[in-house]
Amino acid sequence: MSACVMILPYLILGLLGPTFGHDVKGSSVCEFYNETMCTESQQECSGKEECGPHDPGKRNHCYVLWQIDNATKKSIIKLKGCFLDSNDCYDRPHCIENSAERKKELFFCCCDGNMCNQNFTWEPHPTSSSKPIQPSVIHELEPVPNTEQQIITLVLSISIPILLLAIIVPFLYWCYRRRKSGYFNEVWKAYVPTLEPLPLPQPSPNLGLRPIQLLEIKARGRFGAVWKAQLKNEIVAVKVFPIQDKQSWQTEQEIFKLAHMDHEDILRFIGVEKRGDNLQTEFWLITAYHEKGSLCDYLKANVVTWPEMCRIAESMARGLMHLHEEIPANKVHGYKPAVAHRDFKSKNVLLKADMSACIADFGLALIFHPGKPCGDTHGQVGTRRYMAPEVLEGAINFTRDSFLRIDMYACGLVLWELASRCTVQDGPIGEYRLPFEDEVGLHPTLEDMQESVVHKKERPIILETWRKHPRCARTRKCRVGSGRET
């Protein structure tokens, strides 16, 4: 009987036709702006934002959040970017706010279409407080009843429910008789595979708000800010996502909640929370806090010894290998699919107190579920500087192994950063440099990286002093012996 009930919504939708649902269009790229990111140290607060993937039947939209200065009457933009599926935004080619009420002096509009949020306006609808119309005018404008139209409406409103009942009731009775005779069960078993009972769900980590006190902001990025915070007697890290980056927050917690993700070389996950309401909503991701920060920031201010470099490199590679690994279920944990990071870089590798590394930031990660294709996932994601040649060239194969190899290319660049600040080399140690910084500078465009990596085939320089190191020389002999020296 329950199977029949499950089929009913589809039957009703089939009868009612295409009136229900939306024609999926939406926005794939929006103008981006974040006022909080416009600081002297970080100027990347505006540009274009590519909207993330969305569920089938839903859309992405563009939005603007702004404020009007009471003194100058000028608009002050607060936020621009991609917005999650909302009925209020459907089929609106222009970003227009129609509300007559001004809450906290903030205005919000959303629209449907690429870059439709470049321009925005406030056109309030007249409210009930507007000047009332004279009674005589109302009397003169009263419409003449259309008797024929009313009759048609009445007939339709009565006949459609009766028609639905005439179809649904016999269908339910047929289901009941077939189930009673055992026939329905046999047919159902023949077409629907038997499913193993699912394990009981684990307790949700976001039940109730934790007593968290935000202490100090440690970093800002495209997907929000990272805070040092206190949770009872423990210092934790809180990554705060604004409402437009909810998809990244959902992706991160989905990765962390996979089986076997409690690993020493993966950032420890504590929980998630939703704070605030409406446009003030924030999504929190709570993890372990590591005082040394990211590998990138650490190398800017410090050099590393040979043992420290080996410890960092080994734990980093071990964490990435665990992420990539497909692990079968056992008596304690369930199945873990392979995962590609897709934004691997020294900023997303954190250093623990013992100088071992752990991998963080899974907002762009991709899970490879068995038997499911990767689909039309956008290949050119992540940080341009760390993109593999095939990604820059747009020649990526959307297979699991292709995505995992892209991570390994980025890992090689991070190892180069690490080696460039190691004390074992002869002579003075140079200042910290990002990969390809000498070739393309600090803020390369996609075209800059394509020219350098794809067309000129440039790679980070391996210094001669590195080659002369005993362990490096031993590795080089192995590569020559295997015919892989280039």
Residue positions annotated with a catalytic role: 343
Angle between helices 2-16 and 147-181 (to 10 degrees): 150
- The C-alpha atoms of residue 220 and residue 59 are separated, in whole angstroms, by 28
Nearest to 36 by CA among 83, 81, 72: 81
- The C-alpha atoms of residue 355 and residue 297 are separated, in whole angstroms, by 14
Residue 336 DSSP code: B
Nearest to 347 by CA among 300, 389, 282, 313: 300
Residue 429, C-beta contacts closer than 8 angstroms, at least 6 positions apart: 303, 420, 421, 422, 423
Nearest to 341 by CA among 360, 326, 315: 360
Which residues are 389's β-sheet partners? none
Q: 307 phi and psi, to 5 degrees?
A: -60, -40
- Say how far residue 420 (Cα) sits from the centre of its chain: 32
Contact between 80 and 111 under an 8 Å Cβ cutoff? The reply is no
Task: Report the sign of the C-alpha dihedral through residues 235, 240, 246, 252, in that order.
Answer: negative
How long, in residues, is the chain?
486
Residue 377, C-beta contacts closer than 8 angstroms, at least 6 positions apart: 53, 366, 398
Residue type, 183: Y
